[in-house]
């Protein structure tokens, strides 16, 4: 009995598989464009919830800029000057930046970002379609399953997070493993293709790669437990081939891995605290996404939840939940079904985090993710990221259930239910924001998918920076770029200055000693003896000018002005010159 026993292969397509796959890709792209942004100027507006979108747009420019100017792209001193930042430890998406280099050169990084953001769901849906079609041999079942994965909650909510929404390689990795287990792919081909895929994924998102490795190991163990004895040899062979692919992957990504190792001393023990984004159990059943759920009563209930984490995309629509129940109800003892059910429950359970949380209350009940809290690298994974693998598993199950339809009336009923499940994922509203820039609350349910206007400020042009501040000045930008538009301003000025703060990722260990000063500049509580602490900060960071823009907290402006340093206003921006003898 093969590992794919119980997986139907109904008939053969009457058309060229490549032509059919191409048509499906165009269909998904048309849906993504129609859902998300065909009426928006992609060079003036960008898709995203928070300042992370500005960060990714900045990185899309940084890699071509650094390479074309003979700079080391892995060590960026245009932020956090003079120490700089190791971009291997940032979400710097080098693969995507290099891929979009021609577009960035011709149309700018905002256009490149929007292309990547809008096409991400379509590409994820398409690669899931390829996987499910290979399993079921039913293009219609795969079409629905691909949509359920590509346009699921984790994709819709994270469209501005290119490292998290660009997940189209994950289904391809599963497809390679499946074909190797079934003997349809030689060891040599598998090792080479997997190594290339993993190296590319490393250059898109280290976090998704770490999650993929973790879930691949868990899925392998689950299927090993439930597989018939005759097929376990194929799974062990797969494990050996993956082990062979690991050093090849490392060699392909050697420069990236070198800088990962080099930057390790500056990395906090845990980059992300697990409590930042774990899923509340009830979120699986109560919608909190900007989608057309058709269940207004449940949406109203959502507002009464007191949880603060952005775990809104855990929701399983009732039609999809019914499909999952119906699939497992009819085949509870089949090895494939039991493995899929175990994997589905395991991914859902792990996404809940280390401790059970209900309605914003930490219950103290420990969950399986607590076992990973002491494992290096893995402990920095945000548990909610594992919903990606939950939705992929659910999409595969939905495809299997649809492909097993028999009589025409049963087939119609099944696809109607699947259509309702897909309809529940349709974005309810895409909102173009007239404001040039605003802070988007990170821990608040979003009512729409926003397109903010790209931030511009008259002062920030290359010519004006040269005239007002000289050649390559080092500045301190306010409001703090973590919350303000500073990264966009730096791009608008053609990267003609460096900045001592900036937002390129987590704060390195060497910057932690300035937490009080940095926290106050971001709008936090005042600190004792601000003058001495701020002067020391500016001296250590070799700040030439402090640029105070709109929306800077008034207390911060007042505290800096009280220092008595020379000030002037240029094109709506306040410029404070640091004392010449400061460093």
Same domain, 416 and 471: no
Q: Which of 372, 393, 423 is the last residue of a domain?
A: 423
In a domain, 456, yes or no: no
In a domain, 455, yes or no: no
Same domain, 148 and 239: yes
**Has residue 530 got a pLDDT over 50?**
yes
108 contacts: CB under 8 Å, gap ≥ 6: 43
Same domain, 510 and 562: yes
Mean pLDDT value across residues 140-144: 95
Residue-wise pLDDT for 218-253, tens only, equals 999 999 999 888 889 999 999 999 999 999 999 999
Same domain, 408 and 266: yes
State residue 276's pLDDT score: 60
Distance CA 276, CA 383 (A): 9
How many domains in the chain? 2
Residue-wise pLDDT for 546-562, tens only, equals 999 988 999 999 999 99
Mean pLDDT value across residues 272-288: 67
Task: Please say whether the beta carbons of 501 and 79 come within 8 A.
Answer: yes
Higher-confidence position of 506 and 303: 506
State residue 19's pLDDT score: 81
State residue 439's pLDDT score: 54
Same domain, 495 and 355: no
Residue-wise pLDDT for 461-512, tens only, equals 999 999 999 999 999 999 999 889 999 999 999 999 999 999 998 889 989 8
**Has residue 442 got a pLDDT over 70?**
no
Residue-wise pLDDT for 315-339, tens only, equals 788 899 999 999 998 777 788 899 9
Same domain, 495 and 416: no
**Has residue 579 got a pLDDT over 50?**
yes
State residue 87's pLDDT score: 96
In a domain, 483, yes or no: yes
Work out the percent of the chain whose per-residue pLDDT is above 70. Answer: 88
525 contacts: CB under 8 Å, gap ≥ 6: 519
**Has residue 156 got a pLDDT over 50?**
yes
State residue 291's pLDDT score: 45
In a domain, 440, yes or no: no
Convert 224-246 to b/e letters by CB count within 10 Å (16 or more is b): eebbeeebeebbeebeebbeebe
Q: How far is CA 274 from the centre of its chain?
A: 16
State residue 153's pLDDT score: 79
In a domain, 397, yes or no: yes
Q: How far is CA 92 from the centre of its chain?
A: 12
CA distances from 230 to 5, 236, 280 (A): 12, 12, 40
Which of 248-262, 279-293, 568-582 shows the lowest per-residue confidence on average (mean pLDDT)?
279-293
Same domain, 269 and 411: yes
State residue 410's pLDDT score: 84
**What is the residue range of 55's domain?**
17-34+43-423
Which of 132-146, 167-181, 402-416 shows the lowest per-residue confidence on average (mean pLDDT)?
402-416
Nearest to 527 by CA among 188, 537, 148, 549: 537
In a domain, 182, yes or no: yes
Same domain, 396 and 466: no
pLDDT-based confidence at 287, cuts 50/70/90? low
Same domain, 399 and 504: no
Q: Taking the model in full, what pTM does it have? A: 0.91
Mean pLDDT value across residues 358-375: 80
Higher-confidence position of 296 and 354: 354
Same domain, 306 and 391: yes
Same domain, 418 and 475: no
Higher-confidence position of 467 and 309: 467
In a domain, 130, yes or no: yes
State residue 117's pLDDT score: 95
Nearest to 454 by CA among 433, 425, 479: 433
Which of 231-240, 259-268, 433-442, 535-544 shows the lowest per-residue confidence on average (mean pLDDT)?
433-442
As a whole number, the mean pLDDT across the chain is 87
Residue 412 burial class via C-beta count within 10 angstroms: exposed 0-12, middle 13-18, buried 19 and up = exposed
Task: Please say whether the beta carbons of 501 and 487 come within 8 A.
Answer: no
Distance CA 279, CA 62 (A): 34
339 contacts: CB under 8 Å, gap ≥ 6: 222, 223, 225, 226, 227
Q: Which of 423, 444, 478 is the last residue of a domain?
A: 423
**Has residue 55 got a pLDDT over 90?**
yes
Higher-confidence position of 293 and 559: 559
State residue 392's pLDDT score: 96
Torsion sign (Cα): 502, 505, 506, 510: negative
**Has residue 48 got a pLDDT over 80?**
yes
Same domain, 305 and 406: yes
In a domain, 181, yes or no: yes
**Has residue 297 got a pLDDT over 70?**
no
State residue 285's pLDDT score: 74
Which of 124-138, 431-445, 474-488, 506-520 shows the lowest per-residue confidence on average (mean pLDDT)?
431-445
Q: Which of 366, 400, 423 is the last residue of a domain?
A: 423
State residue 379's pLDDT score: 75
User: Which pair of tokens denotes residue 77?
Assistant: 């001193």
**Has residue 425 got a pLDDT over 90?**
no
């Amino acid at each position: 009995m093969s590992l794919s026993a119980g997986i139907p292969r109904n008939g053969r397509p009457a058309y060229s598989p490549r032509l059919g796959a191409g048509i499906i890709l165009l269909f998904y792209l048309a849906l993504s464009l129609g859902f998300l942004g065909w009426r928006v100027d992609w060079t003036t507006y960008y898709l995203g919830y928070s300042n992370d979108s500005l960060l990714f747009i900045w990185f899309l420019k940084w890699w071509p800029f650094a390479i074309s100017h003979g700079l080391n792209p892995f060590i960026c001193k245009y932020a956090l000057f003079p120490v700089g930042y190791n971009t291997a430890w940032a979400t710097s998406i080098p693969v995507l930046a290099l891929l979009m280099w021609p577009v960035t050169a011709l149309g700018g990084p905002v256009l490149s970002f929007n292309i990547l953001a809008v096409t991400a769901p379509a590409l994820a849906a398409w690669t899931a379609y390829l996987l499910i079609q290979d399993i079921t041999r039913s293009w219609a079942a795969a079409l629905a399953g691909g949509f359920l994965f590509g346009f699921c909650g984790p994709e819709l909510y994270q469209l501005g997070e290119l490292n998290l929404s660009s997940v189209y390689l994950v289904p391809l990795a599963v497809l390679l493993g499946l074909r190797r287990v079934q003997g349809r792919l030689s060891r040599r081909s598998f090792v080479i293709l997997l190594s290339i895929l993993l190296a590319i994924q490393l250059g898109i998102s280290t976090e998704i790669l770490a999650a993929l490795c973790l879930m691949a190991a868990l899925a392998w163990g689950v299927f090993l437990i439930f597989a018939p004895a005759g097929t376990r040899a194929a799974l062990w062979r797969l494990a050996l081939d993956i082990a062979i692919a690991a050093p090849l992957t490392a060699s392909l990504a050697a420069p990236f891995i070198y800088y990962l190792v080099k930057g390790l001393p500056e990395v906090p023990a845990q980059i992300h605290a697990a409590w930042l984004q774990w899923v509340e159990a009830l979120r699986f059943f109560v919608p909190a996404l900007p989608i057309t759920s058709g269940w207004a009563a449940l949406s109203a209930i959502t507002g009464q939840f007191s949880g603060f984490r952005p775990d809104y995309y855990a929701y399983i629509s009732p039609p999809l939940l019914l499909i999952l129940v119906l699939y497992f109800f009819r085949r509870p003892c089949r090895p494939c079904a039991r493995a899929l059910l175990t994997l589905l429950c395991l991914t859902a359970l792990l996404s809940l985090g280390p401790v059970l949380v209900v309605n914003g209350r930490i219950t103290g009940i420990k969950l399986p993710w607590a076992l990973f809290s002491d494992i290096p690298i893995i402990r920095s994974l945000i548990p909610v990221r594992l919903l990606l693998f939950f939705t992929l598993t659910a999409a595969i199950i939905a495809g299997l259930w649809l492909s097993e339809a028999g009589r025409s009336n049963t087939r119609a009923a099944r696809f109607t239910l699947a259509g309702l499940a897909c309809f529940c994922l349709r974005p309810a509203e895409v909102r173009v924001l007239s404001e040039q820039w605003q802070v988007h609350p990170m821990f608040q349910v979003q009512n729409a998918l926003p397109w903010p206007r790209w931030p511009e400020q008259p002062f920030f042009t290359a010519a004006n920076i040269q005239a007002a501040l000289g050649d390559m000045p080092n500045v301190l930008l306010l409001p703090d770029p973590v919350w303000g538009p500073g990264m966009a301003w730096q791009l608008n000025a053609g990267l003609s200055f460096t900045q001592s703060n900036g937002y390129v990722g987590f704060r390195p260990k060497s910057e932690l000693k300035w937490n009080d000063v940095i926290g106050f500049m971001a709008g936090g509580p005042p600190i004792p003896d601000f003058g001495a602490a701020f002067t020391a900060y500016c001296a250590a960071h070799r700040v030439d000018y402090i640029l105070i823009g709109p929306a800077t907290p008034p207390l911060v402006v007042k505290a800096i002005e009280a220092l008595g340093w020379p000030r002037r206003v240029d094109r709506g921006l306040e410029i404070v010159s640091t004392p010449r003898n400061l460093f």
